[in-house]
Amino acid sequence: MDALKPLYEKLLLDIKNEGYLQVDETTIKVLDEKKKDKSHLGYYWVYHAPISKLVMFNYSPTRSGSAALPVLENFKGYLQTDGYSGYKAYGAKS
């Protein structure tokens, strides 16, 4: 994973520098390695920069709006979402 870190950081920087982002979170079933054949819900957070066609995915075990903090912190621009209340904190900062 350490070898991928520079690539991740560059993508994160490029996404943050976009002036327009589309963001959405969606559920994913996550297998529980401690319990055979059991799963729980996790969340993919998807960030799409339509102008540059960049896409970034982050995983979070919760739907909390704080899961978007690594990408949306210090983001300046237009943020298009589905209206989920977890994004309100980011709208207030713009």
Q: Which of 22-26, 30-34, 66-70 has the highest mean pLDDT?
A: 22-26
Please compute the mean of the pLDDT values over residues 16-29 and round it to a whole number: 94
Q: How confident is the model at residue 91 (pLDDT cuts 50, 70, 90)?
A: low
Residues in the chain: 94
What percent of the chain has a predicted confidence (pLDDT) above 70? Answer: 96
Question: Rg (Cα) of the chain, in Å, rounded?
Answer: 15
CATH of 2-80, one of 1.10.730, 3.30.720, 3.30.450, 3.40.50: 3.30.720
CB 79 within 8 A of CB 21: yes
- pLDDT confidence of residue 88: 79
pLDDT of 55 higher than 90:
yes
Alpha-carbon distance of 28 to 36, in angstroms, equals 17
Q: Which string of DSSP letters, residue by residue, matches 38-87? A: -EEEEEEEEEEETTTTEEEEEEESS--GGGGHHHHTT--SEEE----GGG
